[in-house]
């Protein structure tokens, strides 16, 4: 088949008119006066110095020239991998100049198949997956990708090598895989830059036969070569030297019956499908470097574990406090004596107030309607003896209503009554710890214990209750407060008054009533402090919350450090895989595709870290958590039994996991963006 070749220059003027464009539709490729200048600091390299040429649909053209003459530069421009410095390029009559990055990607994907001298296959990927790559970026679904890739491998005679990795293939086989990849999307144009340059002559011949076959099927083939023999496979040979075209000749071979290209529509995959394939490739990449992946995720693991663990401990402590407050009794208001704050105040108060005494209690009982139960408290620490055993414990002087205020239950015996109080009886009610320490399984009721050289008869035993804060209800001996005053303190002063309001609504009223009454009783001396159980609870909760916040901050910092670790390793990964990025872009990956690929990888890193962190968080909460609390570092100590264990809540898991993923995406953004912006040519040249 003969064609009259016209120098492109002759057409230049006409080309400016749209009408002419329509008439010249068979001009598949048309470049006019194209130059390319590389600037390397001070030095300018003029790789192309004004080349014009026209290539028609279905032509088989070889480009020859010595090394450095600009052949690759020209091919890169023809393949839409780079843009000319000046001059114009029309592809199917369309000026390429005006196309944006995404449109250029589409052209590389749908219209052009590239074959490189160095094959440029993805090394960690099987042959068939390499062949599928362009289809991945044109959104063909997985099943169809597989079958089209298989067909393409069949076309190059390599279907039996489909699952081999590039390093298991010979040079000729690798190049055939690369050709299959160029063919798989059924493009019109095949660009091959010295495809036989790295092959022995036998393999080279096979490859050229393949190109010849493709040409017969109607493909437009442009092939760069050093080798005259290779060039002779083409219909036409263009010689270039120093960036200029010097010869453009027809070869004396012809190709008969060219079949028209048939283009079928591929079935597209969804965005989700793309994400899934991105996930599987990202996951493979990470698996190939397990140790590095693990170390990178360590920061995230620690961060997530810390968040879950500390929030769990905090939550456990909070629930603990709530149950303890219930033990202490509800709606309780306490009055404590208070000292003068200055010398002047002390002088002013002197002799005026009687302090906290039993008179106050009588007045409260008589005059304050909102008060339900009122009881005094006189505390001291004493040694208690029974036979040859002794135990150091808290002696609590009080009255009968104390029992109701504190919700104390009797395991056996009775509580002291009003008569015991008025008679200063030497009777006592003891806690479980005292029974265990002194009585050795014996029934203590009716036995006599010695406290400070006085003998007390045990009349009751309290049920086990545990401890709240520093108050251990089991390690206590209760005696009538009158007895404590007469036998131990020798004073009429009281350490505290406990008042229980009739209802919780009345508690604030009770507080103000108390304030007024006591101020009067104490001759307008402010030598007492009123505290409610709720205030006490709030203080503890505030402390716990502060602790929680502090720990959460530490955890957040750990996550941040983890994120920086991810960013660091992703940047390394982008550099390591520059060539891979170049290959992906050359076969039609858009910026967005590369961005998503790397984002998915960093997100997987964060996800893995997050999942391991959740496991770590449980361990942390259960072991370290109890240690902390056991050592009293969390304020209230945990009681025996199930309550008091740290509580890992679903919300803390979701919170930390979500945070980890956000960290992964956030810190993956910069490396992924960097990868997506790489110039395909520079990326392919990267060593
Ligand atoms: P060929 O493929 O014919 O051997 P090239 O097109 O690769 O030649 O290169 C032509 C000239 O342009 C050479 O002098 C080369 O050094 C220079 N060149 C090519 N690419 C770049 C680049 N990215 N930066 C600087 N110089 C380049
Ligand atoms: Mg070259």
Q: How large is the average pLDDT for residues 548-571?
A: 84
Q: C-alpha angle with apex 257: 252 to 262, nearest 5 degrees?
A: 125
**What pLDDT is attached to residue 534?**
74
pLDDT tens digits, 606-627: 888 889 988 888 887 777 656 5
Judge whether 173 and 97 are in contact, CB under 8 Å. no
- Distance separating alpha carbons of residues 56 and 60, to the nearest angstrom: 9
| Residue identifier of the C-alpha nearest atom 12 of ligand 1 | 47
With residue 517 as reference, give the H or E element that holds it: helix 507-521
DSSP character string of 364-432: HHHH-TTEEEEEEEEEEEEEEEETTEEEEEEEEEE-TTHHHHTT--EEEE----HHHHHTT--EEEE-H
- Distance separating alpha carbons of residues 36 and 74, to the nearest angstrom: 8
DSSP label of 167: G
SS3 content of the chain, % helix, strand, coil (to 5): 50, 20, 30
Helices (H), 221-334: 228-231, 271-287, 290-328
- Distance separating alpha carbons of residues 74 and 35, to the nearest angstrom: 9
What token pair was written down for 219? 């493909």
CA of 172 to the centre of ligand 1 (A): 26
- Distance separating alpha carbons of residues 405 and 401, to the nearest angstrom: 6
For residue 313, which of 661, 654, 627 has the smallest C-alpha distance?
Answer: 627
pLDDT tens digits, 167-178: 999 999 999 999
- Distance separating alpha carbons of residues 564 and 29, to the nearest angstrom: 48
| Residue identifier of the C-alpha nearest atom 27 of ligand 1 | 38
pLDDT tens digits, 469-505: 677 889 999 999 999 999 888 889 999 999 999 987 8
Rg (CA), the chain: 45
Among 48, 68, 75, say which to mutate for ligand 1: greatest number of ligand atoms within 8 Å of CB. Answer: 68
CB atoms < 10 A from the CB of 353, how many?
19
Judge whether 449 and 456 are in contact, CB under 8 Å. yes
Closest ligand to C-alpha of residue 45 is 1
Q: Report whether residue 117 contacts ligand 1, using a CB cutoff of 6 Å.
A: no
Q: How large is the average pLDDT for residues 441-447?
A: 93
Q: Report whether residue 38 contacts ligand 1, using a CB cutoff of 6 Å.
A: yes
For residue 104, which of 593, 583, 588 has the smallest C-alpha distance?
Answer: 588
CA distances from 272 to 130, 276, 297, 596 (A): 21, 6, 25, 12
Q: Which residues of 132-156 are buried (b: 16+ CB within 10 A; e: fewer)?
A: bbbbbbbbbbbeebbebbbebbebb
- Distance separating alpha carbons of residues 350 and 347, to the nearest angstrom: 5
Secondary structure class of 16 (helix, strand, coil): coil
**Ligand 1 atom at minimum distance from 73 CA:** 6
Whether the per-residue pLDDT at 392 is higher than 50: the answer is: yes
- Distance separating alpha carbons of residues 326 and 332, to the nearest angstrom: 11
Residues 6+ apart with CB under 8 A from 19: none
Q: Report whether residue 377 contacts ligand 1, using a CB cutoff of 6 Å.
A: no
For residue 309, which of 647, 558, 635, 560 has the smallest C-alpha distance?
Answer: 647
Q: Report whether residue 65 contacts ligand 1, using a CB cutoff of 6 Å.
A: yes
Least confident piece of the model among 11-15, 44-48, 587-591: 11-15
Could you tell me what percent of the chain has a pLDDT over 70? 87
- Distance separating alpha carbons of residues 27 and 53, to the nearest angstrom: 10
In which band, very low, low, confident or very high, does the pLDDT at 3 lie, cut at 50, 70 and 90? Answer: very low
Whether the per-residue pLDDT at 190 is higher than 80: the answer is: yes
**What pLDDT is attached to residue 10?**
40
Secondary structure class of 493 (helix, strand, coil): coil
Q: How large is the average pLDDT for residues 179-189?
A: 93
Residues 6+ apart with CB under 8 A from 465: 327, 408, 409, 431, 432, 473, 474
Q: Report whether residue 36 contacts ligand 1, using a CB cutoff of 6 Å.
A: no
Whether the per-residue pLDDT at 109 is higher than 90: the answer is: yes
CA of 495 to the centre of ligand 1 (A): 95
- Distance separating alpha carbons of residues 545 and 558, to the nearest angstrom: 20
**What pLDDT is attached to residue 674?**
93
pTM of the complete model: 0.70
CA of 677 to the centre of ligand 1 (A): 22
**What pLDDT is attached to residue 259?**
53
Judge whether 431 and 520 are in contact, CB under 8 Å. no
pLDDT tens digits, 65-103: 999 999 999 999 999 999 999 999 999 999 999 899 999
pLDDT tens digits, 214-233: 999 999 999 999 889 999 99
For residue 300, which of 587, 687, 558, 57 has the smallest C-alpha distance?
Answer: 558
Q: Report whether residue 602 contacts ligand 1, using a CB cutoff of 6 Å.
A: no
For residue 191, which of 29, 68, 23 has the smallest C-alpha distance?
Answer: 29
| Residue identifier of the C-alpha nearest atom 6 of ligand 1 | 70
CA of 155 to the centre of ligand 2 (A): 27
**What pLDDT is attached to residue 591?**
93
- Distance separating alpha carbons of residues 303 and 293, to the nearest angstrom: 16
Judge whether 11 and 242 are in contact, CB under 8 Å. no
**What pLDDT is attached to residue 18?**
42
With residue 151 as reference, give the H or E element that holds it: helix 142-155
Residue 550, Cβ density class (10 Å: 0-12 exposed, 13-18 middle, ≥19 buried): exposed
DSSP label of 599: H
Question: What does DSSP say about strands 94-95 and 244-250: parallel, antiparallel, or unpaired?
Answer: unpaired
Judge whether 682 and 628 are in contact, CB under 8 Å. no
Q: Report whether residue 64 contacts ligand 1, using a CB cutoff of 6 Å.
A: no
Residues forming a β-bridge with 49 = 35
In which band, very low, low, confident or very high, does the pLDDT at 268 lie, cut at 50, 70 and 90? Answer: low
Whole-number mean pLDDT of the chain? 85
CA of 434 to the centre of ligand 1 (A): 94
Residue 410, Cβ density class (10 Å: 0-12 exposed, 13-18 middle, ≥19 buried): middle
For residue 640, which phi and psi values (nearest 5 degrees)?
-65, 165
Q: Tokens 């005679």 identify what position? A: 157
What token pair was written down for 583? 């290959």
**What pLDDT is attached to residue 633?**
38
């Amino acid at each position: 088949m003969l064609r009259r070749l016209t120098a492109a220059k002759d057409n230049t003027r006409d080309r400016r008119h749209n009408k002419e464009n329509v008439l010249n539709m068979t001009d598949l490729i048309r470049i006019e006066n194209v130059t390319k200048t590389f600037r390397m600091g001070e030095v300018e390299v003029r790789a192309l110095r004004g080349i014009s040429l026209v290539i028609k649909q279905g032509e088989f053209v070889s480009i020859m020239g010595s090394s450095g003459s600009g052949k690759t530069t020209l091919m890169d421009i023809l393949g839409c991998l780079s843009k000319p410095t000046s001059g114009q390029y029309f592809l199917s009559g369309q000026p390429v100049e005006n196309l944006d990055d995404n449109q250029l990607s589409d052209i590389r994907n749908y219209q052009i198949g590239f074959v490189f001298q160095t094959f440029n296959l993805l090394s960690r990927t099987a042959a068939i997956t390499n062949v599928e790559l362009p289809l991945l970026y044109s959104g063909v679904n997985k099943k169809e990708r597989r079958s089209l890739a298989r067909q393409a491998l069949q076309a190059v005679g390599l279907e039996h090598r489909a699952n081999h990795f590039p390093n298991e293939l010979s040079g000729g086989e690798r190049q055939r895989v690369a050709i299959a990849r160029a063919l798989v999307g059924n493009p019109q144009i095949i660009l091959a830059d010295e495809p036989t340059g790295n092959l022995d002559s036998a393999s080279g011949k096979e490859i050229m036969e393949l190109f010849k076959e493709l040409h017969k099927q109607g493909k437009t083939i442009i092939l760069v070569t050093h080798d005259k023999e290779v060039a002779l496979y083409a219909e036409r040979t263009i010689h270039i030297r120093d960036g200029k075209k010097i010869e453009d000749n027809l070869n004396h071979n012809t190709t008969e019956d060219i079949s028209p290209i048939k283009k079928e529509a591929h079935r597209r995959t969804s965005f989700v499908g793309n994400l899934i394939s991105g996930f599987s490739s990202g996951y493979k990449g990470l698996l190939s470097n397990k140790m590095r992946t693990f170390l990178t995720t360590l920061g995230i693991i620690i961060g997530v574990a810390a968040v879950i663990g500390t929030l769990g401990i905090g939550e456990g402590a909070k629930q603990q406090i709530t149950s303890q407050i219930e033990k202490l009794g509800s709606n309780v208001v306490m009055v404590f004596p208070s000292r003068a704050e200055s010398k002047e105040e002390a002088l002013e108060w002197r002799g005026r107030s009687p302090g906290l005494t039993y008179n106050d209690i009588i007045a409260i009982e008589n005059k304050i309607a909102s008060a339900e139960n009122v009881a005094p408290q006189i505390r001291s620490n004493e040694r208690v003896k029974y036979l040859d055993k002794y135990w150091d414990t808290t002696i609590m002087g009080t009255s009968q209503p104390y029992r109701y205020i504190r919700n104390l239950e009797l395991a056996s015996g009775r509580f002291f009554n009003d008569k015991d109080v008025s008679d200063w009886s030497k009777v006592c009610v003891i806690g479980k710890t005292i029974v265990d320490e002194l009585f050795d399984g014996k029934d203590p009721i009716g036995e006599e214990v010695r406290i400070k050289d006085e003998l007390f008869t045990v009349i009751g035993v309290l049920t086990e209750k545990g401890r709240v804060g520093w108050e251990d209800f089991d390690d206590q001996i209760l005696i009538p407060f009158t007895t404590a005053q007469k036998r131990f303190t020798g004073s009429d002063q009281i350490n505290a008054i406990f008042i229980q309001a009739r209802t919780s609504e009345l508690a604030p009223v009770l507080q103000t009533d108390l304030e007024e009454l006591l101020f009067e009783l104490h001759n307008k001396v402010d030598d007492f402090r009123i505290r409610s159980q709720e205030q006490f609870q709030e203080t503890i909760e505030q402390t716990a919350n502060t602790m929680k916040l502090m720990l959460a901050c530490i955890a957040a910092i750990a996550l941040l450090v983890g994120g920086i670790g991810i960013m660091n390793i992703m940047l390394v990964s982008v550099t390591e895989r520059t060539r891979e990025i170049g290959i992906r872009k050359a076969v039609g990956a858009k910026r967005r595709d590369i961005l998503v690929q790397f984002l998915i990888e960093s997100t997987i890193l964060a996800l893995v870290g997050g999942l391991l962190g959740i496991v770590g968080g449980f361990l942390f909460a259960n072991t370290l958590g109890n240690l902390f609390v056991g050592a009293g570092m969390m304020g209230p100590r945990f009681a025996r039994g199930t309550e008091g264990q740290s509580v890992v809540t679903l919300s803390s898991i979701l919170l930390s996991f979500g945070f980890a993923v956000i960290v992964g995406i956030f810190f993956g953004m910069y490396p992924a963006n960097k990868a997506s912006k790489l110039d395909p040519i520079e990326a392919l040249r990267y060593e």
